């Protein structure tokens, strides 16, 4: 059987003195989000993002 905390790193599960369970959960959530792969920054990817059609451009009658 697997334990609940098998997939968490050892330092993430370390207790911080005076930390409430809610603060611990928020800290672990932020660490998990920071560990996720980030999208590429700059270069061609950023130019392609900027070149997309703006959100109301398909409905020109809405711009007055």
Which of 36, 33, 32 lies closest to 7 in space, CA to CA? 32
Tell me the CA distances in angstroms from 12 to 34, 39, 53, one per residue in order: 12, 24, 41
DSSP symbol at 15: P
Rounded distance, CA 43 to CA 50, Å? 11
Q: What is the pLDDT of residues 5-64, one digit of tens each?
A: 555 555 556 778 899 999 999 999 999 999 998 877 777 777 777 777 666 666 777 766
Q: Token pair for residue 7?
A: 């997939």
Whole-angstrom distance, CA of residue 56 vs CA of residue 1: 52
């Amino acid at each position: 059987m697997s334990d609940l905390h098998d997939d968490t790193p050892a330092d993430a599960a370390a207790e911080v003195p005076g930390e409430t369970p809610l603060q611990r959960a928020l800290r672990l959530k932020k660490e998990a989000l920071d560990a996720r792969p980030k999208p590429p920054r700059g270069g061609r990817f950023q130019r392609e993002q900027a070149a997309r059609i703006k959100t109301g451009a398909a409905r020109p009658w809405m711009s007055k």
